[in-house]
Amino acid sequence: MRLFISVVLAITGSVLAKDADCHFKLKESVALPRGWVKHGLPPADHNINLRIGLPQPNFKLLEQHLYEVSDPFHERYGQHLSKEEVEALVAPHQESLDSVDKWLASFGIGEGDAQRSPAKDWVKLRVPVALAEKMLNTTYYVWKHLESGDYLVRTTSYSLPVDVHAHVDVVQPTTMFGRFKGSKSTVVSIGDAPDAPKISTSTIDIGNGIMVDPSCNTTITVTCLEQLYNATSFQRQGKGTIGITGYLEQNANIQDLETFFAEQRPDAVGSNFTFISVAGGINNQSLAAAGDEANLDVQFAFGISHPVPATFYSTAGRPPFIPDVNTPTDTNEPYSDWLDFVLSHPNPPSAISTSYGDDEQTVPESFAKKACQGFAQLGARGVSLMFSSGDGGVGDNDPNPATQTCFTNDGRNVTRFIPGFPASCPFVTAVGGTTNVPEVAVSRFFSGGGFSDYFERPAYQDKVVQNYLNALPKGTYEGLFNPNGRAFPDVSAQSDRYRIWVGGRAILIGGTSASSPAFTGFVALLNDARLQKGLPPLGFLNPLFYSQAAGAFNDITVGHNSGCGTTGFNATKGWDPVTGLGTPNFGKLVAVVTAGKH
């Protein structure tokens, strides 16, 4: 996009907007989140990549289509929508398009100065902070995060002209103070992992004819997961596709992947993934630059799903803002850029895992709901989206209880459990964590889970969640969570002591950032099984999992997810906000998803 803003134009915009000051109406205001302090003012020519989200008046209709094509008991099950059909359903009214264009034009911003999403529900443009302040009748500041030392250019409130107000859902970056991060625990024994486990003559009988090597209690490998989840006899044909998202300059190293395959998946040696750069993301192949998060994700997701064709997306992270240095741009959460990109793609992978997230309360509700609508669009097109549930238990995605901050960001600073996003979005499948054989809820760090404060509980999980709530002793954690919110996680998988290769060294690593790609690998195999029979991929999974496939999970009844100075919720019979429905029994799931005409 050309650099179209000059000092003269900014002054012109100031004059044009001055007469309209009295016609501005507050759009959004937030209390400053805990841990941030005002550092100063950004340079007037500091550039911001503004994203303007327009209303989707027919989203309810899209949601109806999504649930119909995702419900195994509906006659439309599996009849996913095309990219063009989805875009037509989420397109804004012409009146909204005209109103926003007129508003932008009043600041000298023309048609060629902005980018629009295929459905035209997002407008993106780069402007200097001085002009953004005029457009939004606000003042931006540089804010410093005390714990990390990070800096952001943000405001705590902004306004829009009255005649534009109803035609814009959200403008960012404005009030978003999220610190997008991976859901992984501390790496264990870097460069000093135990030797690769050898096949034992003894096994652990976990029931239903499933035998697991005892070494899986100390080291998780692809073989362990195939044994534990009853997938050793599946005949793969490599149909379908799988994707992994990478962020924050995490590089997936091909040499490490080859070493991992040679050790744990010999039939995959010589295979590779397709690399796709999003918004300038790179995948540096220096061993010194190999990322533990990225390597974990691709090694286990692609190791489990081989020979399903695989894609690794690298989305450029947020450039750090350095005070007194004219950093070129200031961006949103990077998953927004990935979502824009993948929605514009005609054939995205049919199973995608993301091991990153924020505390829900640090993402403005307006933006969270807009992003969640984007995930719904992918589900309607037949894409299964998995997100790690987080590693802070009922806390703030911080696995260290001593540094958890379980307080609301609404100015009240009230003690509150902290749900995670995007796991709290009802249109994704949130994956929690287990450990040991037989499995229990993970204890070395804590499986993120709980109840959203932004999203209502969806109908597909209403019965099982209400059963859980009814069984809670009266008054348990009253006021600490929203019992009517979307509950998560939905499912779980092993999440501790995964053996991977990073920079030429074997390490052990854990977190729900391990369970999500592992679970996604098995979803890719389920799609392989369906495609072998001429059936479409599964798409949005939750309506299936909470109904027809509910009996195809290993129920986890031991453990809890501590956080916020509490023991959190307990794992129990049936669904629970620690391990969800449980871990997959792949053999049973295959039988469910390949039965019948759907």
Q: What percent of the chain has pLDDT over 70?
A: 89
Among the listed residues 297, 333, 358, 359, the single catalytic one is 297
Domain boundaries, the chain: 7-56+94-177, 182-593
CA distance readout (Å), 408 to 306, 357, 377, 488: 43, 18, 30, 19
Among the listed residues 492, 513, 516, 562, the single catalytic one is 513
pLDDT at 15 over 90: no
Q: Is 293 a catalytic residue?
A: yes
Do residues 260 and 193 lie in contact, with contact meaning Cβ atoms separated by under 8 Å? no
pLDDT at 187 over 60: no
Q: Is 556 annotated as a binding residue?
A: yes
Question: In the numeric block, which tokens belong to residue 553?
Answer: 């999970």
Among the listed residues 121, 133, 169, 293, the single catalytic one is 293
- Report if pTM > 0.85: yes
Q: What is the mean pLDDT of residues 116-133?
A: 94
| Beta strands 310-315 and 274-278, pairing class | parallel
Chain centroid to CA 483: 22
pLDDT one-digit tens code per residue, 565-593? 899 999 999 999 999 999 999 999 999 99
∠ CA 382-448-381, rounded to 5°:
5
Cα(307)–Cα(252) distance, integer angstroms: 18
CATH 3.40.50.200 describes domain 182-593 = yes
Q: Is 411 annotated as a binding residue?
A: no
Q: Is 263 a catalytic residue?
A: no
pLDDT at 534 over 70: yes
Q: Is 555 annotated as a binding residue?
A: yes
Q: Is 513 a catalytic residue?
A: yes
The pLDDT, as a whole number, for residue 192 is 59
The pLDDT, as a whole number, for residue 203 is 85
Reported confidence tier of residue 357, pLDDT bands at 50, 70, 90? confident
Q: What is the mean pLDDT of residues 523-541?
A: 98
Reported confidence tier of residue 326, pLDDT bands at 50, 70, 90? low
| Average pLDDT value over all residues in the chain | 90
pLDDT one-digit tens code per residue, 220-279? 999 999 999 999 999 999 999 999 999 888 999 999 999 999 999 999 999 999 999 998
Cα(166)–Cα(173) distance, integer angstroms: 19
Reported confidence tier of residue 332, pLDDT bands at 50, 70, 90? low
Count CB neighbours of 94 within 10 A.
Answer: 9
pLDDT at 530 over 70: yes
Reported confidence tier of residue 16, pLDDT bands at 50, 70, 90? very low
| Dihedral angle sign, alpha carbons of residues 232, 234, 236, 240 | negative
Beta-bridge partner residues of 553: 584
Q: Which residues contact 500 (CB under 8 A, 6 or more apart)?
A: 256, 260, 292, 295, 296, 299, 300, 506, 507, 508, 509
Cα(380)–Cα(446) distance, integer angstroms: 32
Residue 64 or 510, more confident: 64
CA distance readout (Å), 527 to 301, 490, 521: 14, 19, 10
Cα(385)–Cα(520) distance, integer angstroms: 8
Q: What percent of the chain has pLDDT over 90?
A: 74
Reported confidence tier of residue 396, pLDDT bands at 50, 70, 90? confident
pLDDT at 11 over 90: no
CA distance readout (Å), 369 to 112, 360, 364, 374, 488: 28, 11, 9, 9, 16
Cα(449)–Cα(564) distance, integer angstroms: 13
pLDDT one-digit tens code per residue, 478-513? 999 999 999 999 999 999 999 999 999 999 999 899
The pLDDT, as a whole number, for residue 400 is 67
pLDDT one-digit tens code per residue, 442-486? 876 678 999 999 999 999 999 999 999 999 999 999 999 999 999
Q: Is 169 annotated as a binding residue?
A: no
Reported confidence tier of residue 4, pLDDT bands at 50, 70, 90? very low
Lowest-pLDDT range of 10-19, 37-46, 121-130, 356-365: 10-19
